Amino acid sequence: MSSLTGCYFDPSERVGKFIDNGLLEITHILGVGAYGVVYSAKNVLNQRVYAVKCMPKANIDAQQHRLHLTEINLHAQVTGHPNIISLEKIIDITDSLNVVLEYSDEGDLFSMITEKGLYLGNDDLIKQVFVQILDAVQFSHYHGIYHRDLKPENILVFDDGMTVKIADFGLATTDTWSKDFCCGSTYYMSPECQGGLYERVSGYATAPNDVWSLGIILINLACGRNPWKQASLSDETFSAYVQNPEFLKTILPISDELNEILKDVFALDPEKRITLSEFKERVLECHSFIMPEFATFCEMLVEQEIDVPPTISHDMCSQSSTSSACSWYSMNSEMDFSIPPAEFLDDYDRCSVSTGSTFISTLASSQPDLIKCFENDSIINLKCGSLIMDNHLLRTNYIF
């Protein structure tokens, strides 16, 4: 039995070795990042599998070491919540600091949305998992901890996607006011986190910044994509939203109820942004997150169970057979949802689809295209342009 105590840090050489006095065997690499490696490890006594975040001590400065310790400390303070990944233990050895974490073999919310289409058109399930996310964030805020990197890649799934848990506190802070601009992932940052919308700001409140990120995640769940690349006036889509708060309804199949919620979530003034308690109450009261016409379309797609090869690959996943469970373990990899092409934003109209007695209306651009959906031997031709459901925009197992 060889131990993981060498001074030279070679990720591949650690596979097959043991830590924690021989109790944990490193089985394979889950992901590699700038500051370390995440391994899968198995307890030799009960065969339970864990994720081990291994952070080497060599070649890191005092500031990076401090950040590692801060991440561990903040995560440990909230680890008891049922919707936050459990931090099991810290193993400090000669050359590295090893954080033993709860492991999910089902992957993250990003994969569940884009590859499996699990939440598409399922209002009850969207409500169930999003409230879990809200509860976890509210618990963290109650303990004075603000995540600052909330996104589907940092939310792991369990129980066939019915349970979710927040992970990765690498950018979390206890500061209610921060000057760390552009902290997180661009798609999910509030305007003030990026330095301000119309003029430079001196800092930003971290709690409403998390609320903004949660609004984007809710759109991800309901529509399978992001509303914009960046909450900045340089982004044409976001700029259009700033000029017209009803704009999201022209590019997303969202219901009137959800649109009203999002307007309060995306309030440009952070002080006027909806609170987490209000957010939860509004979500629970929401009858439908998407338009009725689109919901009918989603139900038809789910019933078809068409098996289509996934169109997205995850970095580092080739190193492991658990490829669907890799994106969070790739340590802050940028894997964001597609956004609509430029021409999609120029012109919109309604298009109709019929097959037998089935009638479907969905939002689309005026540029003609052809999408085929197969149901047994029948073919439904949707001549609807660059549909929101087009595989380029929403990657699921049901449409191509």
Last residue in a domain, options 293, 324, 354: 293
In a domain, 47, yes or no: yes
* 94 and 135 assigned to the same domain: no
What is the pLDDT at residue 8?
Answer: 52
269 and 254 belong to one structural domain = yes
Confidence of residue 298 (pLDDT cuts 50, 70, 90): low
Q: Over the chain, what is the mean pLDDT?
A: 78
**Shared domain check, 281 and 169:** yes
Cα–Cα distance for residue pair 264/287, rounded to 1 Å? 17
Whether 374 maps to a domain, the answer reads no
Residue 260's CATH number: 1.10.510.10
The stretch 163-170 carries a mean pLDDT of 97
Q: Are 72 and 216 part of one and the same domain?
A: no
Q: How confident is the model at residue 150 (pLDDT cuts 50, 70, 90)?
A: very high
Give the per-residue pLDDT at 108.
96
Task: Identify whether residues 163 and 284 lie together within a single domain.
Answer: yes
Q: Is residue 312 part of a domain?
A: no
Does 119 lie in the same domain as 98?
no
Tell whether the torsion through CA atoms of 356, 362, 366 and 371 is positive or negative: negative
Q: Catalytic residues, which ones?
A: 149
In a domain, 379, yes or no: no
Element (H, E) at 201: none
Mean pLDDT, rounded, for 208-219? 98
DSSP 3-state of 267? coil
Beta bridge partners, 84, equal: 166
One domain, residues 92 and 42? yes
Look at residue 380 and tell me whether its pLDDT is greater than 90: no
Tokens of residue 366, six digits:
């005026």
Q: Is the pLDDT of residue 44 over 90?
A: yes
Q: What confidence score (pLDDT) does residue 33 get?
A: 80
Strand pairing report for 96-102 and 87-92:
antiparallel
Of 293, 327, 352, the residue that ends a domain is 293
In a domain, 175, yes or no: yes
CATH assignment at residue 88: 3.30.200.20
pLDDT of the residue at 384: 27
Instruction: Give the end of a domain, one of 52, 76, 102.
Output: 102
- Report the 10 Å Cβ neighbour count for 46: 7
Backbone angles phi, psi at 57, to 5 degrees: -90, -25
Least confident stretch, 56-60, 119-123, 126-130, 371-375: 371-375
154-158, 227-231, 372-376 — which is least confidently predicted?
A: 372-376
Q: Is the pLDDT of residue 369 over 60?
A: no
Identify the pLDDT of residue 9: 66
46 and 195 together in one domain: no
Residue 382 CA to chain centroid, in angstroms? 29
Tell me: is residue 372 an annotated ligand-binding position: no
Look at residue 253 in the predicted model and tell me its pLDDT. 93
Q: Is residue 1 part of a domain?
A: no
Residue 201 has pLDDT above 50, yes or no: yes
pLDDT tier at 37 (50, 70, 90 boundaries)? very high
Element (H, E) at 132: helix 123-142
Residues 151 and 269 in one domain: yes
60 inside domain: yes
Same structural domain for residues 249 and 121? yes
pLDDT, greater one: 121 or 328 = 121
Structure tokens at 263: 């307007």
Answer yes or no: is 391 within a domain.
Answer: no
Backbone φ and ψ for 320, nearest 5 degrees, come out as: -140, 150
Structure tokens at 272: 């006027």
Q: Report the pLDDT averaged over residues 171-176.
A: 97
Is the pTM for the entire model greater than 0.85? no
pLDDT tens-digit readout, 74-119: 999 999 999 999 999 999 998 899 999 999 999 999 999 988 889 9
Statement to judge: residues 136 and 194 lie in one domain:
yes
How many domains is the chain partitioned into structurally? 2
> Which residue range is the domain that position 46 belongs to?
11-102
Q: Of 120-134, 233-247, 383-397, where does mean pLDDT reach its minimum?
A: 383-397
Q: Give the confidence band of 61 by pLDDT, cuts at 50, 70, 90.
A: confident
**What average pLDDT does the segment 126-134 reach?**
99
Residue 83 and residue 116 share a domain: no
Looking at residue 307, its amino acid is D
